[in-house]
Structure 1
Amino acid sequence: MERDFFREFQPFDDSPRWKELLSPALVQAVSQILHRFAIPESRRGKTRNTVLQDLSALLETSEFNLLFVGRDTPHCGTPQMLGQVAGALAKFASPPREPGGRGDRQSEVAEKAAEVGLLFVKLLGKVEAAKNSFSRRAWKTGLHYLAGSCYIFAVTHTLEQPWTSPSSQDAAGEVLSALLRVSECSSVSGFLRGERRGEKGTLGVVLDLLRPDLNKESWKNNPATKYVFSWTLQQVTRPWLNQYLERVLPSSLLISDDYQTENKVLGVHCLHHIVLNVPAADLLQYNRAEVLYHALFNHLYTPEHLLVQAVLPCLLDLFPVLEKPMHWTGEAARHSTLCDQVLQLVLTHMEPEHRLLLRRTYARNLPAFVKRLGILTVRHMKRLERVIISYLEVYDGPEEEARLKILETLKLLLQYTWPRISCRLVVLLKVLLKLVCDVAKDSSLTPEPVKNTLLEKATECMILLDRCSQGQVKGLLAKIAESCDDSTVVNCIIRVQQASEDIPSHGT
């Protein structure tokens, strides 16, 4: 289509005869533009800018509003071409397959996105103007075909990614704002799920558009697809998400099953959102919850701290779905649970682990497992004892995150399993006293608030240990207080003795 086509395209009058002749010409013009968009990038050459210019010129014509006409006109079906135009624009500005491609390629995508963003804003402006020119049904039909591709383009270039720039992000932000304004929605979440009663949102349309790029063979062709899917999924919560479960769960599992850690983490975050926002009955149907569990459990064998940190909280939220509360009658031993299975594997990995990031990740999630199992944590006492002792003996950097979380775990362990603690009294008291002495003599860069927190938690554990052992700790500490010349250590011992005197020592 040449540039002079648009000079012929301008109307000379408003006669009905002109409109009858113009509508087929409009359809032909749009079809030719779509054909030029379909030309491969390698063959497009200098026509890249001209196709955008031609579309911009076509949008400026008042006859473009004829695409909003619906089934009540002789040219029914033309609103679908709006969706085709929007889809072609979004694909035109999509990033290259290689996420780590050359910088000039990425900057070229950002430039195209900034130009395409202006066209999307102009296109949405046409939809907004059509509210006054056509019936509500007509402009709603046009918006229906436009909304999905506009949204995908906006999310692709709004998030900070290698293929975006400040200008492309600003353009995408304007498109998203215009889309929400035209669709009369107050938020992205409302736009996706539907804000008005009896009105469906756009999530189904978006998922339909993403589906061709979210299968096993094609999901890596466009590096933006996984981020658009993940971000979109996070915007929809219960009770709306469960009706799309069959469409979001397979894609989330697909992303989480990749060999790249970044994709695994992204997929696990999607699965976690599904676990939190889909009713348990729907997750249990067709063994979906079991599939989730096995997919997550297998990730625990990967020594990547980011992945482990994503998997463990997801499993903890999945356990209540898979395991019903057990009421023990005392007639038989309680069965081992999936939580036992996961904790056993975690403790097995924790014992020999020397990498600080993984140690912190395991320690960060350990208290939640003790809370989950409660008294049943006694099944893992020997291994927990070894882990607690070894982790409390190792300095963990200025923030001391691992040792603080291990102290929290020990406190919970003392509270839940106190009848089994007296036989471990000496071992646990020694490691707590050693920790107090190490912190008191610590001359490293550890901030004073962190030291104080360590001393506070260690003291609380010694107080609980004294109650579990019916006051034996107070007697063992008496001689130490007399011979110790460190005021910090002595103050901790005095606090333990005073607390033991104030509260009867008959367990917790």
Structure 2
Amino acid sequence: MGDTVLLDTLEILRKSGNKIPEQVWETVEDAILGAFVPQMTVGNERPCEESDFKQYLLNIGSKLKAIALIFQQIVQNLGCDEFHSNKQISKNHAVHLLILCGEHSIDDKWTTKETIKYSEELLSLLCKLWCCKSVSLMLIGDESRQEYFGLFSVALLSLRPKLEKNTWKTYPAAVSCYQWLLFQVKSPHLSPHLSSVLPTALIILDDFVLDNRICGIKCLNHITDNVTRTELGWSGHGDVIYKALEPLLYQREAAIIQPLVSCLITVLGKVEGGYIRDEPNYQWSRYDDVLEKLLQTMEMEDSLALRLAYITSLPPLLAAAGLRICRWSKRLLHVCGCYLEVAGHSQQKEAQHTLLAVQVFLHQCWPLVPAHSQILLEMLLRLLCDITYKEETTGRELDAEEQHILNLIEDCLVLVVKIAPEQSKMLCLDLKNRARFNRIFETVIDKVFE
């Protein structure tokens, strides 16, 4: 929008009072559509780069500023009731403006701090015009009003041509807008739109670009978390999501592991077992399939970044699987022992999450602890010796992370001794008398066996 057009439009608005001429709405419509991020055909060949949007970034800031000035004047001229009285016009403009703001909702290759600021300002003005308190209410509708409808379906319909299987990679801003719109709608309002939002998330997931896969995983996690178990069962939606996520377990990329496991936990929580959380159904399930693949990969992994990603994801997965992890106890403890051998010397984050996994095992599989007490005590006491040995040799006090690890070790040892007192007493018979390695070690042992 040129300066002359902007000034003419503002002048018309100042003179028009509370009646907005059709000419102004046409100017606003053209300005909004002209500010959309253009199609990038290069996206079919490679991921879009910041240089691809160089031309777009030259004037998008001034375009959004002009649109914001016009809407500020419209807000001054119009009350919300007047704007809402013509639903067709208000709906079209609101949807187009929502999509434009969604494209500039987060920091990305086609956005700047200036465009994000104007996007937030435009959303605030739009909420005033639509007589609602938030973007979420605008999307889902406000039941407190006599005439209400949400804009979510209309916005998805408007975005659909850009998010088809053959076009979505050329419209990266439309993908960002879809994710932003999706995250604004939560339970129970997302359920009616399940068949509309799920295909796009699956299309984004099925890509070779890491960022797109992570985006698809986050969208699927949000969808699964905000619909009911019954709705996921309709037409096998839950099974489709699981089948789409399962192959990603074999991919060795640290950035994808945590969101992937988190999404799988959400999906399995809805599609496995009964409606009662602790229903006693311990037959082989897809929890076991995931644990089998994950533990197998963890055993062979030597990359520190991947090891940390895997072990960080393990405790919540074990907690979600519950008593099912009993059948994996031997393999699980072997993995934890191997990770603690390395983590005790340098990888403190890895040690913390490994100990959390051991804690989950102790709580969930306590009947098996006596049979595995020797392995548990060996790995915990070895790590305790490694951690406390540093304090004695370097002469410095333990830092916050080391102290946290020490507390976790103590908690795990207390649980082992409490659950398997006879075995612990027999295995640690001479520990209190002969193995007095250092002051902190002695203090912890005294607390555990008091």
- For residues 218-273 of structure 1, the C-alpha deviation after alignment (integer angstroms, 9 at most, x for no partner) is 11212211111111111111111111111111111111111111100011100100
Say whether 1:469 aligns with 2:420: yes
Contact 1:127 1:142 in 2 (8 A): no
Alignment partner for residue 191 of structure 2, among 242, 246, 261?
Answer: 242
Contact 1:316 1:369 in 2 (8 A): yes
Return the offset for 1:447.
Answer: 5.5
Q: Determine the structure 2 residue equivalent to 1:180.
A: 127
Structure 2 counterpart of 1:177, which letter? S
Alignment of 1:182-331 (within 5 A): 182-197=129-144, 198-325=147-274
- SS of the residue corresponding to residue 364 of structure 1 reads helix
Q: Determine the structure 2 residue equivalent to 1:62.
A: 12
Contact 1:191 1:201 in 2 (8 A): yes
Structure 2 counterpart of 1:281, which letter? T
Say whether 1:168 aligns with 2:119: no
Say whether 1:52 aligns with 2:29: no
Alignment partner for residue 416 of structure 1, among 364, 374, 378?
Answer: 364
Return the offset for 1:474.
Answer: 2.8
Distance (whole Å) between structure 2 residues aligned to residue 141 and residue 340 of structure 1 = 52
Distance (whole Å) between structure 2 residues aligned to residue 398 and residue 181 of structure 1 = 55
Contact 2:269 2:320 in 1 (8 A): no
Contact 1:280 1:321 in 2 (8 A): yes
Distance (whole Å) between structure 2 residues aligned to residue 326 and residue 205 of structure 1 = 34
Distance (whole Å) between structure 2 residues aligned to residue 398 and residue 179 of structure 1 = 53
- SS of the residue corresponding to residue 180 of structure 1 reads helix
- SS of the residue corresponding to residue 351 of structure 1 reads helix
> What TM-score results when the alignment is normalised by the length of structure 1?
0.77
Distance (whole Å) between structure 1 residues aligned to residue 56 and residue 235 of structure 2 = 43
Alignment partner for residue 88 of structure 1, among 33, 42, 46?
Answer: 33
Distance (whole Å) between structure 2 residues aligned to residue 285 and residue 461 of structure 1 = 43
Q: Determine the structure 1 residue equivalent to 2:297.
A: 349
Alignment partner for residue 435 of structure 1, among 367, 380, 383?
Answer: 383
Contact 1:284 1:322 in 2 (8 A): yes
- For residues 351-410 of structure 1, the C-alpha deviation after alignment (integer angstroms, 9 at most, x for no partner) is 111122222222222222332333332211221121011011112786722222221222
Are residues 377 and 233 of structure 1, via their aligned partners in 2, closer, same or farther at CA, if it must alter by over 3 Å? same
- For residues 433-469 of structure 1, the C-alpha deviation after alignment (integer angstroms, 9 at most, x for no partner) is 1111100112689952222222222222222222333
Return the offset for 1:132.
Answer: 6.3
Return the offset for 1:492.
Answer: 1.7
Q: Determine the structure 2 residue equivalent to 1:491.
A: 443
Distance (whole Å) between structure 1 residues aligned to residue 312 and residue 279 of structure 2 = 33
- For residues 3-49 of structure 1, the C-alpha deviation after alignment (integer angstroms, 9 at most, x for no partner) is xxxxxxxxxxxxxxxxxxxxxxxxxxxxxxxxxxxxxxxxxxxxxxx
Distance (whole Å) between structure 2 residues aligned to residue 219 and residue 55 of structure 1 = 33
- For residues 472-504 of structure 1, the C-alpha deviation after alignment (integer angstroms, 9 at most, x for no partner) is 323433422222241121112111211xxxxxx
Query: Which runs of 5 or more structure 2 residues have no equivalent in the other structure?
Result: none
Contact 2:84 2:130 in 1 (8 A): no
Query: Which runs of 5 or more structure 1 residues have no equivalent in the other structure?
Result: 1-50, 499-508
Distance (whole Å) between structure 2 residues aligned to residue 303 and residue 400 of structure 1 = 22
Structure 1 counterpart of 2:167, which letter? S
- SS of the residue corresponding to residue 471 of structure 1 reads helix
Distance (whole Å) between structure 1 residues aligned to residue 378 and residue 88 of structure 2 = 74
Contact 1:106 1:164 in 2 (8 A): no
Return the offset for 1:216.
Answer: 0.9
Structure 2 counterpart of 1:471, which letter? E
Say whether 1:404 aligns with 2:352: yes
Are residues 60 and 448 of structure 1, via their aligned partners in 2, closer, same or farther at CA, if it must alter by over 3 Å? closer
Are residues 313 and 125 of structure 1, via their aligned partners in 2, closer, same or farther at CA, if it must alter by over 3 Å? same
Q: Determine the structure 2 residue equivalent to 1:128.
A: 75
Q: Determine the structure 1 residue equivalent to 2:92.
A: 145
Higher relative contact order (CA 8 A, sep 6+): 2
Are residues 494 and 309 of structure 1, via their aligned partners in 2, closer, same or farther at CA, if it must alter by over 3 Å? same
When the two structures are aligned, how many residues end up with a matched partner?
A: 438
Q: Determine the structure 1 residue equivalent to 2:330.
A: 382
- For residues 324-350 of structure 1, the C-alpha deviation after alignment (integer angstroms, 9 at most, x for no partner) is 3399999xx942011111111111111
Are residues 485 and 167 of structure 1, via their aligned partners in 2, closer, same or farther at CA, if it must alter by over 3 Å? closer
- SS of the residue corresponding to residue 300 of structure 1 reads helix
Distance (whole Å) between structure 2 residues aligned to residue 139 and residue 216 of structure 1 = 35
Distance (whole Å) between structure 1 residues aligned to residue 312 and residue 257 of structure 2 = 11
Return the offset for 1:126.
Answer: 5.8
Are residues 134 and 86 of structure 1, via their aligned partners in 2, closer, same or farther at CA, if it must alter by over 3 Å? farther
Distance (whole Å) between structure 1 residues aligned to residue 209 and residue 287 of structure 2 = 27
Contact 1:474 1:496 in 2 (8 A): no
Are residues 255 and 447 of structure 1, via their aligned partners in 2, closer, same or farther at CA, if it must alter by over 3 Å? farther
- For residues 73-118 of structure 1, the C-alpha deviation after alignment (integer angstroms, 9 at most, x for no partner) is xx9xx99857852552233x54855565464x64542332112113
> What TM-score results when the alignment is normalised by the length of structure 2?
0.86
- SS of the residue corresponding to residue 259 of structure 1 reads coil
Are residues 194 and 170 of structure 1, via their aligned partners in 2, closer, same or farther at CA, if it must alter by over 3 Å? same
Are residues 291 and 241 of structure 1, via their aligned partners in 2, closer, same or farther at CA, if it must alter by over 3 Å? same
Distance (whole Å) between structure 2 residues aligned to residue 97 and residue 379 of structure 1 = 51
- SS of the residue corresponding to residue 119 of structure 1 reads helix
Distance (whole Å) between structure 2 residues aligned to residue 133 and residue 280 of structure 1 = 39
